[in-house]
Structure 1
């Protein structure tokens, strides 16, 4: 392989890796059992509550390898996950803003670990979210996990 072709191949590989986005799914209506292998015969590691976001690492047939907020990886059946998007608050007493602006008034405050439903994306790294009580607001991507 010539040097120009090698450089072009390397550039294409780096561009593909840089464009790869994280893929998140949400645990569906029932809690999901996570296993140490892609089989119900594998060891059960733990149960993830409904609504929790999980990062998709790998898909293998009807099984998905996922990563949780703590960085732990395990396998679950694909049927346990939905495309609905939820996120988890990372900090205590996080102010969810009324508009996507740091200076905006707080629409509500959420504690660390609270689940929020993603409604839409906004410019500048903000998401429009809804609390289970129905109140909506905007949160920065850096303050939540699941995007």
Structure 2
């Protein structure tokens, strides 16, 4: 096989290799209940800390009944797969965030939230904004650069 064909094969195979390695689009979930995060995929692993219900986590890899996740602070840890929910949430990463009534910087304020508040994602992001819902029922739009979990 000449170099040109080898390069083309490598380039066309790259998306499949990335997907197989888990390097494709991020897969975020939330926790259905408080969960213990471990250093290994086993209850014999060292329990490191408990993470709160509804916290978003990024799924990195699944092995049997365990999932390796990235938690909001960036650590890669293991959690039992059964505690993961399909419900999507995000966590505020800035000191304070304005949630607007419309996806516009000049729109009236719907509510404010502070760092580490968890919000439910109620729609897909568009044009740098995403619709969210607070646990008290308040809804609005937040800039995606102010949250983690997308």
Question: TM-score w.r.t. structure 1 length?
Answer: 0.92
- Are the aligned partners of 1:32 and 1:48 in contact in 2 as well (CA < 8 Å)? yes
1:136 aligns with 2:120: no
Looking at structure 1, the residues matched to 10 and 106 of structure 2 have their Cα atoms a distance apart, in angstroms, of 43
- Are the aligned partners of 2:125 and 2:144 in contact in 1 as well (CA < 8 Å)? no
Looking at structure 2, the residues matched to 45 and 93 of structure 1 have their Cα atoms a distance apart, in angstroms, of 29
Ranges in structure 1 where 5+ consecutive residues have no aligned partner: none
1:20 aligns with 2:46: no
1:4 aligns with 2:4: yes
**Residue 42 of structure 1: SS of its match in structure 2?**
coil
* Root mean square deviation, CA, Å: 1.6
User: Post-superposition shift, 1:13?
Assistant: 4.1
1:62 aligns with 2:65: yes
User: Aligned pairs, how many?
Assistant: 146
- Are the aligned partners of 1:100 and 1:122 in contact in 2 as well (CA < 8 Å)? no
User: Post-superposition shift, 1:123?
Assistant: 2.3
Match in the other structure for 1:103: 106
The list of structure 1 runs, each at least 4 consecutive aligned residues, that deviate by more than 6 angstroms after superposition, is none
Match in the other structure for 1:94: 97
User: Post-superposition shift, 1:40?
Assistant: 0.6
1:40 aligns with 2:73: no
Ranges in structure 2 where 5+ consecutive residues have no aligned partner: none
